[in-house]
Structures are given as structure tokens and as C-alpha cells.
A and B are shown apart, each in its own frame.
Chain A
Amino acid sequence: MTETPATETLTLAKALNEGMRKAMEKDPKVLVMGEDVGRLGGVFRVTDGLQKDFGEERVIDTPLAESGIVGTAIGLALRGYRPVCEIQFDGFVFPAADQIITQLAKMRMRSLGKLELPVVVRIPCGGGIGAVEHHSESPEAYFTHTAGLRVVACSNPADAYAMIQQSIASPDPVIFFEPKRRYWEKGPVDTGAEDFAPLHAARVVNPGEDVTVLAYGPAVKTCLEAAAADDRSLEVIDLRSLNPLDMDTVVRSVERTGRCVVVHEAPVFNGYGAELAARITERCFYRLEAPVLRVGGFSTPYPPSRLEDHYLPDLDRILDAVDRTLAW
């Protein structure tokens, strides 16, 4: 992306807001719906001002029922609309799981391609904000396991702005993960840009030689901090898209470094890193100097927030894994 005079410094939340605004301006069929998204502007203010500008018919404060939100969004999409649903918190998505997994993901195939469901389900995810139970989860693997969905995770304001627009434009349903503890972090956003990197392309965000570090969403910044703090040369890749996965970018890096550490907040067991480790082993077996190591949440429910700093992968735990892979 080239810098233009339209480059502004925005928080990630505001970048999402601007992205949705742009999509709504372009296409009158785009709707925003969810709990408190209208008058309040969402509990994280991501939809702030949209109802004021686009009206109650397009920015819909729904009843408090997640299955109802996604289920009616499917119906609206069948009628030609492009609903963007907000699930208020990650831990509240499960009442909508049936509509997402059984209906949203499968209706296109069920109809032999006659039906299209351009629905975006936005989910603030991850921990680190000192929240009560069910407000800090990372449910991405449940959805990456479901064929028919596209699953993406933004990590910074510029991507948030681009990826939300690309997701809304997608004819396939998209599960859109937003790193809630990064909502208030600022970055440059080119609000005049129309050309974006492909939605499903990973990005090398810190080139390096010694170890490949794979992350997405809120963990990307932590990995960049680890890379900056360490003498070893860490190549950090922001995956951005989890399904599909840009495996070529990953393979190019690991073939060079021979070592890989995967970082995510979700529990390691059966987490997204397991898929990465398996695929990297298949593609890079003879180039690997060490097994792919994973850093993530433990096999426990998300702990009370006074303990979350221990649960979440931090700089030290990432670098500990880097030590271990280099010592192999």
C-alpha cells in the first residue's frame, strides 16, 4: 500500500468503524446488526455513529439472542442483503454455533451453489483486558474446522480497515476475529486506499533469519515485541487468514530458517498451531532443524483475570520457545 494524503492515525476500533462505514456507503445492502450496536455504538464503540448516519433499518439493535442474530442474518442474506453481525464477546458466540456451523457454512453447498450467504460475523476475541469469565476466549479453531467458512483475524488498524471491507465484499461467509485488547492501539490507516493485499495472504511483519514465528490477531504484537527485544533474528509472520491459510508464505520462511514457533492465545491442544505444525512438517520435513514448537493457552478454561498474564503467551514464554528450538 502506498501512502497518500488520506493516511490517518486511527485506533483499531476506529479503523473497523471507518471500514464498515465505507462498505455501507458503497453498498446500500450492507447492514450492521447485533446487541447494542446502534444507539450505544457497541460495547467497544466499534459501530459508533453508524446508526446515526445510516438509520435504524441498516444498523439494527437486535434482541439479546446470538442464534437469532446469525439466523436472521442468514435470512436477510437470502433476500439479497449483506449483514455484518457483531457478537458482543467471544464467549457469547456459542449460542450461535448451530446457525454458523450447520447453516451459514453449509447452505451454499446444500443448494448446489444457488444460494450465497455474504454474512460477516465479527467476534472480539482474546484476553488481556481484565474481564470476567467468558469475555477473553479464543474460539477460532472451532470455526477453522468448519468447511464453508472463511476465518480471518486482524492484528493492526490498517489491516482492520482493509480486511473488514474485503470480508463484507466476500460472497462467502466470513468469521472475523478482532483482537479486543488492541482495540485502542493506534496505527496509520490509509483511508483513501482501494487496493488492498489479498484477504487470504499472510504477511512477513518482521523479516529474520534464525527462527520463524507464526502468529495472528492479538499475539502478533507480542511476537514483534519479542523480536525487538531479542538478539536472535526472528522472522515474524502475521497469518491474517486462518482459513484458507497462506501456506506458501509460511513454507518459504521455514525452509530458510529451519525452525518455527507458533504463538496463539487459544489452548495449544488441538489448537490452530497443531494444524500449522502438521502442515509444516509435511512440507518442510527435510529442512527442519527442530520440531515446530507451540506457545499458547493451557489445557484449562481461561483463568480468572488476575492469572491471565500467566496464561497468555507473553514475551518471555515466546523467547523461551525460541531458546528451546535453537537448542535442539
Chain B
Amino acid sequence: MTIDSVRGAPEPELVQLLTPEGERVEHPDYPLDVTAEELRALYRDLVVVRRIDLEAVALTRQGELGIWASLLGQEAAQIGSGRALGEHDMVFPTYREHGVAWCRQVEPLNLLGLFRGVNHGGWDPAEHGFHLYTIVIGSQTLHATGYAMGMQRDGVLGTDRAGATIAYFGDGATSQGDVNEAFVFASVFNAPIVFFCQNNQWAISEPLERQTRIPLYKRAQGYGFPGVRVDGNDVLACLAVTRKALKDAREGQGPTLVEAFTYRMGAHTTTDDPTRYRLKAEEESWKLKDPIERVKAYLVRNQLADTSFLDEVDAEAKQVATALRKACLDLPDPRPLAMFEHVYAEPHPLMTEEQERFAAYLASFEEASA
């Protein structure tokens, strides 16, 4: 399934630095020097986040999480872009960016807490340069744009404190008004932002054709900034393309739209059933483009990693998952009165009155049973 350009134009170019078979190829616009050590670190990231994701799916099946949005198949898009980020950059994710969260040192347990219903997001966005997950599709692209406008006003662009924002969203989100408004605002204000669209081909059950008639990256031209399509299953290409887009933004050259062309291998969430709307053959064809296998093939073929390294990474991933499972099961339910906390910064008499009445009501059961 592909979206052809307008009326039969040739299939657009895909920036690729590592083929599905694990062959390293060069791209004139995106030279990338990467050491063996960096490659192994990327491999480790990819394997660990896939394992975390698998564990979260299992925990959901066992009733420990209410729901989970799996990143399966999108690891390279997230790790590649996530590892391109610098200290002063700010990420605005959707609810599927577990791999980017990993790159920003957000405890995976915090992600699980949200899907378990313990809180709506337990990490400190400023500490990690990683905003809270946004559930409503596309809303965060405007927050990212506004934040980037703030960076402009801080006068940091072009300095060593320069940062950019990166807004993650999917192919479905490109139909949202907010995303299009974000494109307009970012463009006319030349804001330092990277729009990182993971085109995973499916918005729950709706195929890409229901969102667009042209390749998504081409939309950027209409808004007045560059767009590029990258192989979203190629961690090196995602790293190189995002790195360049972020650098441009930090230097004051404005926004870039990156379309990471990938595939959602799993269901939209654990409540979804892809067998109702897509063919197994399509999934099988994408399996051949797996983001992890190609890195593994490259490492092994070039003798940059041996079996003991691969086993070590697997063991580490398993250990992360085991610890995560235990921590998830140990997560305490919040106290009932916690829902009243943090709604307002300053006193709110009406809410406080309700809170006190509810506290007394709860206490009445304790007295009754005492």
C-alpha cells in the first residue's frame, strides 16, 4: 500500500542509510559518521524499548494496565530521532513515544503509571526535556510551536544554549486542525521546531489514503518550510535527518517536517483488532523491513558485535522488563483525596469545600468500622 504522488508522479525518495538487509548506504545530504560503539548503543536502545513495550502489552493482557499503545515497529523512528536530541531541546510527544521517553531518561514505570491509571503523567517535563504524553490527537503540536516561540523570545537561538522543540505525531494527526495551525504558526514566526511525523500507515483502522492524497512530507512545501521523508525503520537515517533538522532550527532557520515512513506492527492499542481491517500479507511485508534486524545484521556482518554482545543486550532487556513488571505491580493506588490536589495553584474555596466534605464522608466509614 503506497500513496503515490499527485496523479502518478514517481514514488518519492526515501532517505535511507541502512537498508533492510543491513547494507550501509550513503546519502549526499545526510552524511553520518557513527562509531561501532554508537551503533551498539543504538542497537541496545532498540532492543530494550521493544522489550519494555512487550512487557507493557503483557501486563495489559493480565489486567495490570488499562490500555497500552504499542510502539512495535516504530523503534528506529523513535530511537533515531530521540538520540539526535540535545540537552536544550524539548520534546512534545503523543502517547506512543516510549522510545523517545527512554532516550530522555524518563522512567518507563512512569509511562506505565499513566496507563495503569495511577496518575495522568508522573514525570517532570522540565527535568527530562520531555513533555507529558498528549492523548488528544495533534494538540501538542501547538504547544511545541508556542514553546519554540518562547525559545525565540529568550534570545537563545544561535547560542550555546540554543534548543529546538520537536513535536511527535502520526499520520492521522496530519488531518487535525491543530497540526495545520501549528504548521502555519511555526512557518510565519519561523519557530525553531521539528515536526516529526511517524507515518505508521494506520490511524486505528483508517489507512493513509483516508488522510492524504499526497506524500505527507510534501505538505510542508505548502506551508513554506522543508519536508523530508526518511526510512522510519532505519535508525541511522532517522538520526541523521533529525539531527540536521534540529540543528537548522537551533540556528534560526525555522521548522522542518520529517515524515518517518514506518509501520505499526501491532494493534493501535491493546483494545484494537487489526485483523478486522488489514491483511496479514501487509504485516508480513513490513516484517522484512524490521528496524532491529538490519542493525543486528550490519553489526554481525562487519564484526562490530559478537554473540556475547547480543546475548548481553537480550539479558539486559529481560532484566529491565522483569524489574519493570515488579515495580508496576508494586505501584500503590493513589489516595482518594489525591484527585483534588494540583487542580489549582491557588486556593479554590468551592473545590476545597467538596474535598473536605468528601474527606469527612470517607472518614465516617473508618469511624464506623473502628
Contact = CB atoms under 8 A, between A and B. Distances in A.
A79 B147 contact: yes
A147 B184 CA distance: 30
A245 B121 CA distance: 30
Interface string A82-111: 000000000000010011001100111111
B153 interface: yes
Contacts of B124: 111, 114
Interface in B105-145: 119-122, 124-126, 131-132, 134, 136, 139, 141-145
B238 interface: no
A233 interface: no
B26 interface: no
Interface string A246-287: 010000000000000000000000000000000000000000
A77 B349 CA distance: 25
A277 to B, nearest CB: 16
A7 interface: no
Contacts of A103: 134, 136, 139, 143
B142 to A, nearest CB: 3
B147 A111 contact: no
B185 A63 contact: yes
B234 to A, nearest CB: 30
A230 to B, nearest CB: 32
B119 A67 contact: no
B120 A109 contact: yes
Nearest to B134: A103
B146 A78 contact: yes
A326 interface: no
A297 interface: no
A108 B342 contact: yes
- Determine chain B's interface SS by DSSP, over half rule: helix
A172 B142 contact: no
Interface in A61-89: 62-63, 65, 67-68, 70-81
A181 to B, nearest CB: 29
Interface string A139-174: 000000001101000000000000000000011100
B344 interface: yes
Contacts of A77: 146
Nearest to A106: B120
Interface string A107-121: 111111111100000
Nearest to B352: A244
B13 interface: no
Interface stretch (B16-24, B174-182, B282-290): B174-182
A65 B143 CA distance: 14
Contacts of B132: 107, 110-111, 115
B188 A63 contact: yes
Interface size class of A (residues with CB under 8 A): 35 or more
Contacts of A191: none
A57 interface: yes
A111 B146 contact: no
B136 A102 contact: yes
B350 A75 contact: no
A148 B344 CA distance: 6
A75 B146 contact: yes
Contact of B184 (A65, A78, A171, A244): A65
A107 B341 CA distance: 13
Contact of A67 (B149, B177, B341): B177
A147 B343 contact: yes
A116 B350 CA distance: 20
Given A115-B132, A171-B346, 4 more contacts: A75-B147, A113-B345, A114-B125, A147-B343
19 contacts: A57-B153, A68-B185, A71-B139, A72-B145, A73-B146, A74-B146, A78-B131, A78-B146, A108-B342, A111-B124, A111-B132, A113-B342, A114-B124, A114-B125, A115-B125, A116-B345, A170-B345, A172-B344, A244-B350
Going nearest first, the 4 A-B pairs with the smallest beta carbon separation are: A75-B146, A71-B142, A79-B150, A72-B146
